[in-house]
Amino acid sequence: MTGLTMWRLGDTTLRWGDRTYLMGVLNVTPDSFSDGNQFNDCERALAQAHHLVAGGSDILDIGGQSTRPQAEDVSLEEELARVVPVVRAIRQGSEQHPPLTIPLSIDTTKAAVARLAIEAGATLINDISGALYDPAMLATVADLGVPIVLMHSRGTPKTMQQLTQYDDVVKDIYDFLAQRVEAAIAHGIFPDQIAIDPGLGFAKTYDQNLQILRQLPRFRALGCPILVGPSRKSFIGHILNQPDPQKRVWGTAAACYGAIAGGADILRVHDAAPMHDVCRVADAILRPSP
């Protein structure tokens, strides 16, 4: 990798290459594709945060804007109202749940949400647009001095599934991510503070998602830790003939193993405990101790 081989997030250090890290999904939305309306109040979100931590999550990824296909954008005010109180609640705790010090990622494309969530206690930014939706995002992240995950996508969640034509899907994604990494560095973000995500399911067909997983090692050349988010995705449902996203746990497990074999450093998942077991076994096979 081009920079340091670790992230320090508060009291937590993530050392790239030592093992696979889990990013637990905490959607505080009414309309996410597999868990919408389940955790969109503070107490339920706080309970789920503790459930994800107990399951082995290393990071919690908090999102207030659904990114499922056809999802409508939400206003800045609405997204702030969804995520900032949850970040504060996780940090402060409640009568039922003690405070958590786990790294918190804010899943947003809006610079103002990123800034206020970091001020509330989040520790990194996860931007599905590669920091393209909001021209202030990269400068904001540089000013905050926090890491960012840059993901590949096209269009918006409402239009992305009509934008799946590529000359060479893996090369096109690689080139996009290389450009976004260069832009982040040009805005003052340190190279060792950047991770990349090829964006499974975002403007990709079933076959293209499989191509990305098969060719994941190509992205190592970008010199950044790689995040992969296969959890409960529709390409898994296609393989299994399983329309219910919450019944795709074992398919997700197989996709997670494939991603680890391809060099993924972080897996973004809904089902932390079973994927934690997958990571432990996969790491024992693929990252043997010296």
Q: Tell me which residues are annotated as active site.
A: 233, 268
Q: What letter would DSSP give residue 16?
A: B
Cross-strand pairs, 238:
none
CA 223/CA 2 separation, integer angstroms: 5
State the first-to-last Cα distance of the chain, in angstroms, to the nearest integer. Answer: 20
CA 85/CA 91 separation, integer angstroms: 10
Extract the runs of DSSP E, i.e. beta strands, from the chain.
6-9, 12-15, 21-27, 59-63, 104-107, 124-127, 148-151, 194-197, 227-228, 266-269
* Beta-carbon count within 10 A of 70 CB: 13
CA 257/CA 255 separation, integer angstroms: 5
C-alpha dihedral, 233 to 237 to 243 to 249, nearest 10°: -70
Closest CA to 124 of 5, 14, 275, 1: 14
Closest CA to 24 of 216, 284, 257, 229: 229
Q: Please, what is the Cα angle at 122 between 120 and 127, to 5 degrees?
A: 120
